[in-house]
Amino acid sequence: MFPIQFIVRLAASGLLALSLSVTAVTAQTDPLPSWNDGAAKQAILDFVTRTTAEGSADFVPPEDRIAAFDQDGTLWVEHPIYTEFRFVIDRAPDLVKAHPELADKPAFAAILSKDEKRIAALDARELFEALVVTLSGMTPDALGEEINAWLKTARDPRWRRPYIDLTYLPMQEVLTFLRANGYKTFIATGGSVGVVAPYSREFYGIPPEQVSGSAQDLKFEIVDGKPVLIREAKLSLDNIEAGKIENFRMVYGRTPYAQFGNSSSDDQQALQYVKNSPGLRLSVAILHDDAAREYAYGPAQGLPDSPVGTFSQEMYDLGQKEGWIIVSMKNDWKRIFAFED
């Protein structure tokens, strides 16, 4: 149901160096093999066909093909606690050692307990403030090296695997499929751009400059005669709630043609704005309804509530009314992780 696509690139840089790569996607190859046949898969295939086929009424010029993806709960596991918070939990003890007064703050007390239920019970903004303090005082490069080093050794407690394995295979296929059809892919996360950008290329094939996230101020200083930038404990861009689409549009000056998310707390307005923009737009919301293979939480469709990534019944009803694609992980995804048999 999608056009034959040939993308051949021959690019050489440097003296007489040549490299050749050929990608050919034919009608015989399923670009989304981890998706079960059904309305969700078909809607994604149709969207790409209609926006990329020359002569289509919904054709989008290649330079305007922009797609944005939430990370937590959309590209990888977020339940019961965001991976970024696990990093903060591991990092906080050193900070509190240097600043013992922080131990009295409820958020730090919970973080130091390493009790994930207690941490998850914290007010989201309270937790985020502790995160902002923990992720300040260093250069952005130092934080990038730290998160990448952590990701090499840290293991998810349920699957006992590195976090890169917890990315969703069906969504990796969507990223690849969109890029093969000329879409420039972006991350639009409620999490910290300073944490996500350093691994976005390795994990998702998305370069750092195409990661939009909540952002802490950087401060220019001259230290020992050399200029440095230091992360401040001050949130300059807040991607929670409508902030995600407000900041994406402000920073990039573009409205995505396709928006993927899962949470009422930071995706709802972005999905709504994109779907209502002129032209053919695709808004996709991932419903976590697979307690066996991943997690089930909502409270859309009567699923239990969750401290993270809440998919409210209100958002569900809005999505149905506006024609978003609501993906059931249980029914629409044949495989969730690459490591599954």
Q: Which residues pair with 186 in a beta bridge?
A: 68
182 binds its own copies (CB under 8 A): yes
Q: Which span (75-83, 243-251, 290-298, 300-308) binds its own copies, by CB under 8 A? A: 243-251
Residue 199 Cβ, how far from its own copies at the closest point, in Å?
A: 11
Tell me which of 34, 71, 134, 181 binds its own copies, using CB under 8 A.
181
CA neighbor of 121 nearest in space, from 308, 263, 307: 307
Residue 187 Cβ, how far from its own copies at the closest point, in Å?
A: 11
Query: Judged by CB, which is closer to its own copies: 212, or 262?
Result: 212
Tell me which of 33, 38, 162, 207 binds its own copies, using CB under 8 A.
207
Query: Judged by CB, which is closer to its own copies: 247, or 306?
Result: 247
User: Residue 314 corresponds to which amino acid?
Assistant: E
Tell me which of 122, 178, 235, 245 binds its own copies, using CB under 8 A.
245
Residue 134 Cβ, how far from its own copies at the closest point, in Å?
A: 17
Tell me which of 42, 176, 265, 269 binds its own copies, using CB under 8 A.
269
Collect all residues with Cβ–Cβ distance below 8 Å to 341 and sequence separation of at least 6: none
Angle at CA of residue 272, ends 268 and 275, nearest 5°: 140
283 binds its own copies (CB under 8 A): no
Note whether 225 and 246 are within 8 A (CB).
Answer: no
Q: Determine which helix (DSSP H) or strand (DSSP E) holds 5, and give its type and residue range.
A: strand 5-11
CA atoms within 13 A on the CB side of 266: 25
Site for its own copies in 130-159 (CB under 8 A): 140, 144
**CA 277 – CA 256 distance, rounded (Å):** 9
Alpha helices in 135-208 (DSSP H): 140-153, 169-180, 193-204
Residue 24 Cβ, how far from its own copies at the closest point, in Å?
A: 10
57 binds its own copies (CB under 8 A): no
Tell me which of 190, 194, 307, 319 binds its own copies, using CB under 8 A.
194
Residue 333 Cβ, how far from its own copies at the closest point, in Å?
A: 28
Note whether 29 and 1 are within 8 A (CB).
Answer: no
Query: Judged by CB, which is closer to its own copies: 29, or 113?
Result: 29
Note whether 4 and 19 are within 8 A (CB).
Answer: no
Site for its own copies in 208-237 (CB under 8 A): 208-212, 215-220, 226-227, 229, 236-237
Exposed, middle or buried by CB within 10 Å (0-12, 13-18, 19+), for 77?
A: buried
**CA 133 – CA 88 distance, rounded (Å):** 10
Site for its own copies in 16-35 (CB under 8 A): 16-18
Collect all residues with Cβ–Cβ distance below 8 Å to 44 and sequence separation of at least 6: 32, 35, 174, 177, 282, 284, 325
**CA 324 – CA 40 distance, rounded (Å):** 10
Query: Judged by CB, which is closer to its own copies: 77, or 193?
Result: 193
Helix axes 193-204 and 83-98, enclosed angle (nearest 10): 140
Binding mask 58-77 for its own copies (x = CB under 8 A): -x--xx--x-----------
Residue 120 Cβ, how far from its own copies at the closest point, in Å?
A: 27
Collect all residues with Cβ–Cβ distance below 8 Å to 179 and sequence separation of at least 6: 185, 205
279 binds its own copies (CB under 8 A): no
299 binds its own copies (CB under 8 A): no
Tell me which of 73, 170, 198, 309 binds its own copies, using CB under 8 A.
198
Chain contacts with its own copies (rule: CB under 8 A): 3-18, 52-56, 59, 62-63, 66, 140, 144, 181-182, 184, 186, 193-194, 197-198, 201, 207-212, 215-220, 226-227, 229, 236-237, 242, 245-247, 249-254, 269, 272-273, 276
